[in-house]
Chain A
Amino acid sequence: MSDFKIAHRERDTVNVIELKGYLDAHTAPRLEEAFQNLVNGRRFNIVVNCRDLSYISSAGLGVFMAFIEDVRKNKGDIKLSNMSAKVYNVFDLLGFPLLYEIVPDEAEAVKRFTGKTK
C-alpha cells in the first residue's frame, strides 16, 4: 500500500522508526508489527520520527498504548519527534503528551537516550 510506509534504522544504539502517510485502522497493524519486532529483539529504546506522518486516528494511538508499558518495564521508552501540528493536536486532545515525550527533532530524542550532544 502506498498510503503508509514504515522505515527502521539505528542511530547511536537507538532504534528509529520513520512513519510516512496515513496511520488509521487499516495501517495500524503494520506499526504494531514493527513495534513487536523491536520488542521481540529486546530493543527497547525507540524514537518514532513523525516528520512525514500526515494523519493519525485512535487506531494508531492505540498501538503506542499497546507497547509503552512493556517497553518501560524493560527500562526503555518510546519517544516521538518531528510531529506536525495537525498530528500533535490529536495526541494533545487525548492528553498523550502527559505519557509520551514529544520533542521537536529526532537528534534531541536520541540524545535523551544516549546523553550525547550531536
Chain B
Amino acid sequence: MKTKSLEIESRTERLIAVREFVSSAAREFGFGDEEISKIALAVDEACTNIIKHAYKYDPGKSITVTVRGRHASFEVCVSDTGRGFNPNGVPSPDMKEYLAHYRRGGLGMYLMRSLMDNVEYNIQPGMQNEVRLTKILHR
C-alpha cells in the first residue's frame, strides 16, 4: 500500500473526514469491519486530543494524518505543531475507580492504547509532536 497523507484544519467538524480517510486505507490494507472501527476510533481520539490540548481549539492550525503499510503493520502517524506534553505523565485510569467516582475526560489515550497494538509518542514542543498508532494485520 502506498503512503498517503491527509492534512486537516484543527476543527472538530473535520474528524469525520479523518475517520473516512483512515477507514478507507485500513480496508485497502486488508482489515475487516471490526478492526477498521477500532483504528478509526483510535485516530479520532488522537486528533481530538490535538484539537483540544495541543491547539486549544485554534482552528488556524493543522493536523497531518499519514498512513503507511509495512509488512503486516498498518501505521497511522498523526502530527501537529502545538503544545507538547509528557505522555508518561498521563497515567492510564483505573476504570473501576474512574466509574465509581463519576470522573470525566482522560479516556482518549486509554482508548488508543486499548484499541491499537502499539502507541508511540515523539514530542518536540512547538516544533513537531507525533503519535504513531500501529495495528498488526493477522492474515
Interface residues of A (CB under 8 A from B): 1, 3, 22, 24-26, 55, 57-59, 61-62, 65-66, 68-69, 86, 89-90, 93-96, 98-99
B residues with a Cβ closer than 8 A to A are 12-13, 15-16, 19, 34, 37, 41, 44-45, 48, 51-52, 95-96, 99, 102-105, 107-108, 110-111, 114-115
Question: What would be 15 A-B contacts, judged by CB atoms less than 8 Å apart?
Answer: A3-B16, A25-B15, A25-B51, A25-B52, A26-B15, A26-B16, A57-B15, A57-B111, A62-B105, A65-B102, A66-B104, A68-B102, A89-B37, A93-B111, A96-B99
* A57 pairs with B44, CB closer than 8 A: yes
A3 CA / B114 CA spacing, docked (Å): 26
The chain A residue sitting closest to B115, CB to CB, is: A93
Most buried by B among A58, A89, A96: A58
Chain A residue with Cβ nearest B12: A26
Assess whether B104 is in contact with A24, with CB atoms less than 8 Å apart: no
Q: Is the CB of B111 within 8 A of A58?
A: yes
Give A89 to B35 CA distance when docked, in angstroms: 12
In the complex, the answer to whether A65 meets B41 with C-beta atoms within 8 Å is no
Asked if A99 contacts B99 (CB within 8 A), the reply is yes
Report the bound CA distance from A1 to B16 in whole Å.
Answer: 12
Residues of A within 8 A of B102 (CB): 65, 68-69
Q: Is the CB of A62 within 8 A of B15?
A: no
Q: In the assembled complex, which residues on chain A have CB atoms less than 8 Å from the CB atom of B103?
A: 65
Contacts of A89 in B (CB 8 A): 34, 37
Contact at A24–B16, with CB atoms within 8 Å?
A: yes
Interface pair A59/B48, CB less than 8 Å apart: yes
Most buried by B among A3, A24, A86, A96: A24
Residue of B nearest to A96 (CB): B99
